[in-house]
Amino acid sequence: MSKRFAAAAAMLMLSCVLNAESPAQAALQRLSAAIQIKTIGERPLSPEGEAAFRDFHALVQTAFPQVWSLRDEVPDAAYSVLYRWPGRDPELAPLVLLAHMDVVPVEASSASRWRHPPFSGARVEDAVWGRGALDNKASVMAQLEALNALLSEGFVPRRSVLLAHGHDEEVDGRDGAARLAAHLEARGEKAWFTLDEGGAVTRGIIKGIDKPVATIMVGEKGYVSVRLSASGTGGHSSTPSQDTAIFRLAEALTALQAAPMPRRLIPPVAGMLDALAPEMPWAAQLLIRQRWLFEPLLLAQLDKSPTTAALVRTTMAPTLLQAGIKDNVLPNSADAVLNFRLLPGDRIEDVLEHVVQVIDDERVAVSLEPEFSTQAPPLSDADSEAMQVLRDAVGEVFPEALIATGIVLATTDNRHYASVRENGYYFAPFNYGTTTAAQIHGIDEHIGTQEYLRMIEFYRTLIRRVAG
Ligand SMILES: [Zn+2]
């Protein structure tokens, strides 16, 4: 335990004693303490990074000794932790709640723009402030709070309840979530369902819908980056041939922009439209209700804005461009990197085939970027019994919200569990308003006091409904 942490732990204990009359205040203080520990997701972990994760473990051990004692040893999962609360009926598949302890760093240049310092855990303006307040320490801590509360009430779950807390989600989860999933696989375990971040209670996000919408996602997009490497005749720029690498690359890019991957309506997106239709203007309702007839029109409509376009197709974003060394030298090659986010059903191979076919030029080499790629995991069942229980829990805690399905546009740790679960869902019970997107991985990340307490309530309710 580092000195800095020892002091923080002492403060935490003291404040818990002082606030003994208010469990809510104590929970908020624990979230604040969690935010103050700089568990930055990075690979490899620096010595400070390793110390931070040890401090985080010590915080959990101090705050929730009973939960901490439920750990499964997973030695090769580094700082990721798997908590196992055994159920009365070993025949029942477990519930696995996911969350990640790591956070993205704060750029030095932006730290001063925060209203309250990013690792202060400040409890002001009726909120708790800092990196991780939403993504994703609130989920980590709220799940621990819920488990701890149920344990102390003497609740005994019917089916096992597992918490799987990763330490490297922000750098792809391969040393954390992937190892925890492999551990479950080795034990021959299959979750009834996993629940991770990705959906939320959106407020004012969907145009024309005033009511809050709780989005329970049933899948996530895949990820791949593709490099185009165009070759051409190099030499002096005073006598250029038309066969230049840069023009060749430009032609390839123009062709690709004109021929995006085909769009289509996948079931969870159709389900989302169905759920929202009653709140929409008459014309939109008609398009959705009669989509056997109007699907092309509906797809064209959704394709108009970047967020809804991402729901109906594999997107392509040119992100890197490299060529040339000097203004009077023609380069022999020119490269571009395109980042694709795969709609479930489209495979990495499909993207490569599409790119090669559209470019149709042997002098543009097409290759996968090696760092990171992942297929979209299979979609989960939006009508399963598990989904119904999840819907009921969301409805109980957020009675004001419509409930809709959908897919997560980013990647999450949940994909690593695809082979060790019946279904995987995505919902973190916090509010996602118009300013939230700028806070996650941005500045002024914070969570409202009542909002956080409701998160704890949600996980408690869910565990009771799933395992009661
Ligand atoms: Zn996250």
Cα dist from 430 to 158, 161, 181, 369, 388, whole Å: 27, 21, 26, 35, 20
The verdict on residue 7 lying in a domain is yes
The verdict on residue 453 lying in a domain is yes
The verdict on residue 319 lying in a domain is no
Residue 183: closest CA among 78, 109, 44? 78
pLDDT in the model for residue 204: 87
Ligand 1 centroid – CA 92 distance (Å): 29
Q: How far does the chain reach from its first CA to its final CA, in angstroms?
A: 37
What's the rounded Cα separation, in Å, for the pair 432 and 207?
14
The verdict on residue 288 lying in a domain is no
pLDDT in the model for residue 322: 97
Residue 137: closest CA among 179, 111, 104, 108? 104
| CATH assignment of the domain containing 81 | 3.40.630.10
Max Cα–Cα distance, the chain, nearest Å: 84
Ligand 1 centroid – CA 102 distance (Å): 8
State the pairing for strand pair 333-342/402-408: unpaired
- Tell me which residue has tokens 């740790």: 413
pLDDT tens across 168-227, in order? Answer: 999 999 999 999 999 999 999 999 999 999 999 999 888 788 899 999 999 999 999 999
Q: Which residues are annotated as catalytic?
A: 102, 169
The single-letter code of the amino acid at 279 is E
Which of the four pLDDT bands, split at 50, 70 and 90, describes residue 11? low
What's the rounded Cα separation, in Å, for the pair 210 and 168?
36
Supply the mean pLDDT for the chain.
Answer: 94
The verdict on residue 27 lying in a domain is yes
What's the rounded Cα separation, in Å, for the pair 336 and 355?
13
Residue 129: closest CA among 40, 28, 39, 12? 28
Ligand 1 centroid – CA 89 distance (Å): 32
pLDDT tens across 393-452, in order? Answer: 999 999 999 999 999 999 999 999 999 999 999 999 999 998 998 999 999 999 999 999
Collect all residues with Cβ–Cβ distance below 8 Å to 180 and sequence separation of at least 6: 74, 77, 80, 82, 164, 166, 416
Token pair listed for 213: 């919408």
Domain of residue 418, residue span = 3-198+412-467
Residue 105: closest CA among 196, 170, 200, 32? 170
Token pair listed for 9: 């732990």
The single-letter code of the amino acid at 86 is P
The verdict on residue 254 lying in a domain is no
Ligand 1 centroid – CA 395 distance (Å): 23
Q: State the pTM of this model.
A: 0.92
Which of the four pLDDT bands, split at 50, 70 and 90, describes residue 117? very high
**What backbone torsions phi and psi does residue 171 show, to the nearest 5 degrees?**
-115, 25
Ligand 1 centroid – CA 135 distance (Å): 5
* Half-sphere CA count of 200, side-chain side, radius 13 A: 22
pLDDT in the model for residue 205: 84
Token pair listed for 97: 């709640």
What's the rounded Cα separation, in Å, for the pair 171 and 16?
34
**Sign of the Cα pseudo-torsion (14, 19, 23, 29, in order):** negative
Residue 14 has pLDDT above 80, yes or no: no
Ligand 1 centroid – CA 83 distance (Å): 19
Cα dist from 39 to 97, 337, 350, 451, whole Å: 20, 31, 37, 23
pLDDT tens across 16-39, in order? Answer: 555 556 999 999 999 999 999 999
Ligand 1 centroid – CA 299 distance (Å): 29
| 250 neighbors 437 (Cβ within 8 angstroms) | no
Collect all residues with Cβ–Cβ distance below 8 Å to 183 and sequence separation of at least 6: 72, 74, 77, 82
| 190 neighbors 422 (Cβ within 8 angstroms) | yes
The verdict on residue 252 lying in a domain is no
Ligand 1 centroid – CA 170 distance (Å): 7
3-state secondary structure of 365: strand
Ligand 1 centroid – CA 417 distance (Å): 16
Residue 86 has pLDDT above 60, yes or no: yes
The verdict on residue 368 lying in a domain is no
**What backbone torsions phi and psi does residue 86 show, to the nearest 5 degrees?**
-65, 140
Domains: count for the chain: 1
pLDDT in the model for residue 16: 54
Ligand 1 centroid – CA 64 distance (Å): 23
What's the rounded Cα separation, in Å, for the pair 129 and 283?
42
| 259 neighbors 449 (Cβ within 8 angstroms) | no
Ligand 1 centroid – CA 131 distance (Å): 11
pLDDT tens across 247-258, in order? Answer: 999 999 999 999
